[in-house]
Amino acid sequence: MSEKKATVLLMSSISSHPPLLAAIEAGGTKYVCAVGYDPEKPIAEVRFPTRNPEDTLSEAIAFFKARSSELGPIAAMGIGTFGPAVIDPTSPEYGSILTTPKAGWEGFNVVSAIRSALRADLPVSFDTDVNAAVLSEAAYGSAKGKRYVAYITIGTGIGAAYLHDGKLLHGRQHPEVGHIPIPDFDTAFGKDTNRCDFHDSCFEGRAAGPAIEERWGIPGHELSDSHEAWDLEAAYLAAGCVTLTATWSPNIIILGGGVSQKPGLLNKVRKEFEKQAGGYWSLPPMEEYLNTPQLDQDAGIIGSLMLAQQALDCGQP
Ligand code: ZN
């Protein structure tokens, strides 16, 4: 065989087998595991309920071992987790879940469990689920081409992420936008609901799903689209978006999570936002500025595969 032909064959064999990426979208209620060569296109995926850490991780590890036996060794893993969690790779506790009411999870180290089952030196990027979601929406979704991207998820809790010129905002721990103080709009509706054990009036305590259910007596998805609950919810979400506008100055704020899918809610938030912002900022049109995620249910797992790619590129651990 000529040297040239051998090189062509070698190159085609390399290009047909790019590194296999693995990812976990580690939610508080469900775990999603996937593998793929291209973050945008997972080739195998499994979803199952989050239980205690041992059972949950062993189901995840069984999936990765099975896929690896079919497709070859896993080159890197990305994990987008519920929080709070230790996401600083220089910390000895990197990979641990912090204070949480979820039984058995507090102090559990997800990265250690993965590495001891798969490979001790496996590159793993461990970050928050919202950080994973903002990465994928900026690369492939609603925020494609935007430099400064904020993403808020409103579901059983509230979390937010900020992508600044391609770089995720981290800190000593990670942003906890769910616990920013928020005005009490309840009183105007004759209500008094704040579902947070730590704060008198915070974003998550007032506006996440459990607060809506406690305030009106039934879960949000059972409330009619025209219920006054959504005027109040819009006031809280708008206040959160005003705070992010003032602090992060994004090009776009994406509102994801179960609660924000309520029909008509986003338009109420846009109107409320304009009222609360008082014309102070010069912003893009509201229907562009406050937007929905385009990747929908796939944002977390695609973003987690992107975290795996980043771990591989930067040579973690
Ligand atoms: Zn709070």
What is the share, in percent, of the chain residues with pLDDT greater than 90? 88
CB 142 within 8 A of CB 254: yes
Distance from Cα 312 to the centre of ligand 1, integer Å? 36
Arithmetic mean of pLDDT, 216-236 = 97
CB 108 within 8 A of CB 154: no
Token representation of residue 100? 């949480």
User: Angle 299-313/129-140 helices, nearest 10 degrees?
Assistant: 90
Give 14-33 pLDDT, tens digit per residue.
446 799 999 999 998 899 99
Give 186-213 pLDDT, tens digit per residue.
999 999 999 999 999 999 999 999 999 9
Q: How confident is the model at residue 12 (pLDDT cuts 50, 70, 90)?
A: very low
Distance from Cα 209 to the centre of ligand 1, integer Å? 14
The pTM assigned to this predicted structure is 0.90
Poorest-pLDDT segment among 11-15, 154-158, 245-249: 11-15
What is the share, in percent, of the chain residues with pLDDT greater than 70? 94
Q: Can you tell me the distance from the alpha carbon of 138 to that of 269, in angstroms, rounded to the nearest whole number?
A: 22
Q: Can you tell me the distance from the alpha carbon of 310 to that of 317, in angstroms, rounded to the nearest whole number?
A: 11
Distance from Cα 123 to the centre of ligand 1, integer Å? 34
Residues 6+ apart with CB under 8 A from 289: 251, 252, 253, 283
Distance from Cα 237 to the centre of ligand 1, integer Å? 15
The length of the chain, given as a count of residues? 317
Q: How confident is the model at residue 317 (pLDDT cuts 50, 70, 90)?
A: low
* 273 against 100, higher pLDDT: 273
User: Exposed/middle/buried for 202, CB within 10 Å: 0-12, 13-18, 19+?
Assistant: buried
Buried b (16+ CB within 10 A) or exposed e, 124-152: bbbbbbbbbbbbbbbbbbbbeebebbbbb
Arithmetic mean of pLDDT, 102-114 = 96
Torsion sign (Cα): 236, 239, 244, 249: positive
Distance from Cα 170 to the centre of ligand 1, integer Å? 19
Distance from Cα 155 to the centre of ligand 1, integer Å? 15
Q: How confident is the model at residue 133 (pLDDT cuts 50, 70, 90)?
A: very high
The whole-number pLDDT of residue 10 equals: 43
Distance from Cα 158 to the centre of ligand 1, integer Å? 10
Q: Tell me, what amino acid is at 55?
A: D
Distance from Cα 198 to the centre of ligand 1, integer Å? 5
CB 96 within 8 A of CB 86: yes
Distance from Cα 180 to the centre of ligand 1, integer Å? 7
Distance from Cα 206 to the centre of ligand 1, integer Å? 9
The whole-number pLDDT of residue 6 equals: 43
pLDDT beyond 90 at 266: yes
Poorest-pLDDT segment among 35-39, 88-92, 266-270: 88-92
Token representation of residue 233? 């919810």
pLDDT beyond 80 at 104: yes
Q: Can you tell me the distance from the alpha carbon of 217 to that of 237, in angstroms, rounded to the nearest whole number?
A: 20
- List the domains of the chain with CATH numbers: 17-131+298-311 (3.30.420.40), 145-292 (3.30.420.40)
Distance from Cα 195 to the centre of ligand 1, integer Å? 8
Distance from Cα 175 to the centre of ligand 1, integer Å? 13
The whole-number pLDDT of residue 316 equals: 61
